């Protein structure tokens, strides 16, 4: 029993941890793309990688101040969004999907390649670039703090505080945009582009704006991740993360302001709880070693998440915050 309580506490930490922030920001970006505008971005992780490496390269390779690194990361994300959007946004939605998924994979392979090692550090990546940021913390970052049975380092708390502030600001921005006429146009584009064109709106420009905005959210997510881990490795930015962020978005409810945020927190909570909980049950002997060994746990928890998502789509396809009527309109 105490093992399970312990697992609950550890999962609770994951609920608020920087990885949840990372996925929340990725998913907020995907929500702008997919949930509101109907753009299929399957390479959101590429924006995150540019954000993370924007800081890492600027600070540890070029010796620039932290804030300049942030700006470089954001600028890189904007440029990537423009490059992806220019050729594809005039075409059908599937073209953007193909190009983004290829770019995310290709960019990671370039960053980890031998020829890129002098800049990106190759497979070993870059480290020691978050010192300036951690020094900004108003409390002692060397000691550990106990909060509700979980232990956090001072640096961790600082990353999490700044991260959740970013999530709050991003959500506020999305909320304000989506209740404005701008949001109305964007949602109409999701429904039918041609109808919107016939009403005198420049669909291409709106899609581009949405792509850039969502990409910038993704870049912020990558920055939080890089600051949280204190290192930037190309292989941290596997494209599987994009799809986990999609899972979080659908769990929370697409086209809802808080859907991606709560979805990411829950996803991380479930993954962590399944991990710690299963390990505890195996070491207790509740689950016999022959059935499931602790080395399988890392994989099994994703199976459980998959099963959970299936049940969700059967019984509550709109996610936690979604509107069932709205989702059902497509099924007609």
Partner 1 sequence: MPAESGSHGAHAAREDELTPAGRPAPQRLAQAALKDLPWEVGVAKPDPAIVVDGVTRTFGGLTAVSVDHLEVQRGGITGLIGPNGAGKTTLFNLLTGFDQPNTGTWSFDGKELGKLAPHQVARLGVVRTFQLTKALSRLTVLQNMLLGAQEQRGESFLRALVPGGWRAQEKANTEKAMELLRRFKLDAKKDDFAGILSGGQRKLLEMARALMSDPKVVMLDEPMAGVNPALTQSLLGHVKDLREEGMTVIFVEHDMDVVRDISDWVVVMAAGKVIAEGPPESISQNQAVVDAYLGAHHDAPLTVEEEDRVLAEVEAEIAREEHGDTSPGSDVITDGGRR
The residues that touch partner 1, with contacts defined as CB under 8 A, are 173, 176-177, 180-185, 187-188, 190-192, 194-203, 209, 325-326, 329-330, 332
- In the complex, least distance from residue 47 CB atom to partner 1, rounded to whole angstroms: 18
Q: Which lies closer to partner 1 via its Cβ, residue 98 or residue 173?
A: 173
Nearer to partner 1 (CB atom), residue 107 or residue 213: 213
- Give whichever of 257 and 267 is closer to partner 1, judged by the CB atom: 257
Q: How far is the CB of 235 from partner 1 (least distance, A)?
A: 35
**Smallest separation (angstroms) from partner 1 to the CB of 270:** 29
Smallest gap from Cβ 199 to partner 1, in A, equals 5
Our CB check for partner 1 shows the closer of 210 and 244 to be 210
State which residue, 101 or 189, has the beta carbon closest to partner 1.
189
* Sign of torsion over alpha carbons 227, 231, 232, 238: negative
Q: In the complex, what is the shortest distance from the CB of residue 76 to partner 1, in angstroms, rounded to a whole number? A: 20
């Amino acid at each position: 029993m105490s093992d399970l309580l312990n697992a609950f506490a550890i999962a609770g930490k994951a609920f608020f941890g920087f990885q949840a922030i990372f996925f929340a920001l990725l998913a907020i970006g995907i929500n702008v793309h997919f949930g509101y505008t109907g753009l299929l971005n399957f390479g959101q992780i590429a924006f995150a990688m540019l954000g993370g490496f924007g800081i890492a390269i600027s600070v540890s390779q070029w010796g620039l101040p932290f804030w300049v690194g942030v700006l470089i990361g954001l600028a890189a994300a904007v440029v990537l969004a423009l490059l992806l959007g220019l050729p594809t946004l005039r075409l059908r939605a599937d073209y953007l999907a193909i190009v983004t998924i290829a770019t995310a994979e290709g960019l990671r392979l370039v960053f980890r390649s031998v020829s890129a090692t002098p800049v990106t550090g190759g497979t070993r990546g870059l480290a020691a670039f978050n010192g300036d940021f951690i020094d900004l913390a108003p409390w002692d970052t060397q000691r550990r703090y106990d909060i509700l049975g979980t232990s956090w380092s001072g640096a961790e708390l600082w990353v999490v505080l700044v991260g959740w502030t970013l999530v709050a600001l991003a959500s506020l921005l999305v909320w304000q945009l989506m209740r404005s006429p701008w949001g109305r146009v964007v949602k109409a584009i999701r429904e039918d582009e041609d109808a919107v064109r016939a009403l005198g709106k420049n669909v291409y420009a709106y899609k581009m704006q949405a792509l850039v905005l969502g990409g910038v959210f993704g870049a912020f997510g990558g920055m939080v991740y890089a600051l949280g881990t204190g290192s930037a490795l190309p292989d941290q930015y596997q494209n599987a993360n994009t799809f986990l962020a999609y899972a979080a978005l659908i769990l929370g409810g697409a086209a809802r302001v808080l859907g991606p945020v709560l979805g990411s927190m829950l996803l991380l909570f479930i993954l962590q709880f399944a991990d710690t909980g299963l390990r505890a049950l195996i070491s207790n002997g509740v689950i016999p070693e022959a059935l499931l060994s602790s080395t399988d746990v890392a994989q099994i928890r994703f199976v459980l998440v998959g099963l959970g998502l299936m049940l969700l789509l059967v019984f509550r396809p709109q996610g936690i915050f979604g509107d069932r009527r709205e989702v059902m309109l497509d099924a007609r």
